[in-house]
Amino acid sequence: MKISILTLFPNLFDGFLTESIIKRAIEKKKVEIEIINFRDFSNSNNNQVDDTPYGGGAGMVLMCQPIFDAIESIKTSDSIVIMMSPDGIKYNQKYAKKMLDYKHIILLCGHYEGFDERIKSIVDMEVSIGDFVLTGGEIPAMAITDSVVRLIEGVISSDSLVSESFEDDLLDFPVYTKPANFRGLTVPDVLLSGDHKKIKEWRYNARIEKTKAKRKDIMRVMDDESSISKE
C-alpha cells in the first residue's frame, strides 16, 4: 500500500514517520508513505496557495490550481482521494478496514479557512475525525494513516487485532498485569484460574458490559459503512 499526504506543513510528519509501528511498517516495506507539499505545485511567483474569498469574509481560502495539479500528478486508477473536512463522514474502525481495499490512499490536508469548493470535484471522499476544530488536517491525516497501517498484514500480530476496541462494535476487554493485588485492588479470580475457556467467556462478557456502560452508541453496524466507494 502507498499513502500520499498532501500538506503545507510537511515537517509536522517527521516524528510520526520515524517512531514506533509506522517506522517499522515502512522499514519492513509494508507501506510506502510520501509527504507532498502542495505549495511546490503553485504557479505563482511567490508560491501562493491561498487567496481571499469571493463575497468577502475573514481568512484565506486554499486555491484550486496547486491542489488540482498536486493530486493529478500522483493519482492513478488505484487511488482514492480523501479530503480532511468537518463536512465529511465520521471516521471509525469500519472505514479503516475499508481503506485496505485500496492500493493508494491520497490524504488532502486543509488549512486556513478551508478549500475552494471546486476542489471537492476531484475528491472521492470527505472525512472528519470528530466534532471539534483543529488548525489543519495534518493530525486527522496522521490518525487515519495510523489506523490503516496497523491493519496491514504483517505490521502487528493478528492476535493483537482480534479483540481490540471497536471490533464487532465492542470496546476491548479490561486487562491486568502483576501484581495480582496492588493496594487492595485485585485482579478478577477467573484471570488467575488458568481455565482458558472461562477466561475467554469472561473477556467476551466484559466487552459487552463495558460497551453498554461507556459506548452503547457503537453497539450496532454503521448504516453509512457502504458509502465508501470510488466514483
Contact present, 152 and 26 (Cβ < 8 Å)? no
User: Is this structure's pTM higher than 0.85?
Assistant: no
Q: Which amino acid would we find at residue 15?
A: G
CA angle, corner 10, sides to 13 and 89, nearest 5? 70
List helix spans (H) across the chain. Answer: 14-17, 20-27, 64-74, 93-98, 138-149, 158-162, 189-192, 196-214
pLDDT band at 229 (very low <50, low <70, confident <90, very high): very low
According to CATH, the topology of domain 2-156 is Alpha/beta knot (3.40.1280)
pLDDT of 151-185, one tens digit each?
999 999 776 665 555 567 788 899 999 999 999 99
Fold match flag (2-156 vs 158-226): no
pLDDT (0 to 100) of residue 157 = 79
Choice between 225 and 54, residue whose per-residue pLDDT is larger: 54
Q: Summarize the confidence of residues 200-208 as an average pLDDT.
A: 93
Asked if the 158-226 domain carries CATH number 1.10.357.10, the reply is no
For the chain, the domains span: 2-156, 158-226
